[in-house]
Amino acid sequence: MDTNNHYEAIVIGAGPAGLTAGIYLSRARVRTLILSEGTVGGQMILTHEIANYPGVENISGYQLSMIMRNQAKKFGCDIKSNIQVETMMLEGEVKAVTLADGTKYTADAVILSPGGRSRKLGVPGEEALKGKGISYCATCDGDFFTDKEIIVVGGGNSALEEAVSLTKYASKVTIVHQFDHFQAFEYAVEEARSHPKVSFIMESAISAFHGNEKLAGVEIMDLKTGNKLNYAIDGVFIFIGYVPNTEFLEGKLELNKWKEIIVNTDMQTSLEGVYAAGDSTAKRYRQVTTAVADGTIAALAISKYIHELHKNKSLQNA
């Protein structure tokens, strides 16, 4: 075993859960490596404004990500981003992660925090026009639609909050939602309903996207009558939840029917020495604060787990 590439803990994923785990583990003097296939910050960096993080009145997701990253590095955590994990071996006393470039890392314990990705509508034209008028990130693409009319799809907190944030750019924002009510918190609903630039098409869904080189319009179906109407539109932002990034874990540990990682109260998975945290786990609420809490619990549990490992090895060698 290459001791230079051996860590006491490896964290897969660098969203708020993974970064928090890295902060807690490194501060506890646990040699820790964070591996991220994307940019440090995960889905958090796509959030234009975070206004409900305790102790912070207003901050962008990107800014909060960089603060967490710097904290983790300050305590000695190694972070490698934009890498590709080729294989993982999670069973046994020593876990192993091999990257696409052939680099192999081993660890006594692993925290899985791969997060999720934006859920798609799955209707005709979506794939072809993705990035050509269809977006899943207001922060990334909002300014492309200055003084233009756009649609936001969804009825949760993200959809309503991002719809309001997009009014800084767009001349009109229409929210299309499949139900007659919203799943968002009341404050988000009130803010959207009271905004002069925001309108609503309820109990309806986009059934097709139209356009060649760029989005030109959408077909919206009334879910009560089945009637379909075409609307000319400049852009569509889709916020209908996330799909957990757990395909690489199928057959390796226990997942539920939604492919979310099943954990206990200590964030331990069905495998010994393997923990999980963040949006990829089976839970009801997904917020930056809940991800941070998951990362904290997983890190504390792993610290105890590694302490017991060292203690048992010392007794065996005595």
Q: Which two tokens stand for residue 187?
A: 């404050």
* Separation CA 109–CA 80 (nearest Å): 18
* CB contact at 8 A, 129 and 214: yes
* Separation CA 173–CA 167 (nearest Å): 7
Q: Which two tokens stand for residue 301?
A: 């549990």
DSSP 196-248: TTEEEE-SEEEEEEEESSSEEEEEEEETTT--EEEEE-SEEEE-S-EEES-GG
Helix (H) or strand (E) holding 149: strand 149-153
- What does the buried/exposed string (b/e) look like for 118-131 if buried means 16 or more CB atoms within 10 Å of the residue's CB? beebeeebbeebee
Q: Which two tokens stand for residue 304?
A: 């105890």
DSSP 31-86: -EEEE-SS-TTGGGGG-S-B--STT-SSB-HHHHHHHHHHHHHHTT-EEE-S--EE
* CB contact at 8 A, 261 and 273: no
**Among all chains, which residue has been given the structure tokens 């925090």?**
113
Is 77 one of the annotated active-site residues of the chain? no
DSSP 274-312: EEE-STTBS-S---HHHHHHHHHHHHHHHHHHHHHHHHH
Residues 141, 234, 279, 294: which is the catalytic one?
Answer: 141
Active site residues: 137, 140-141
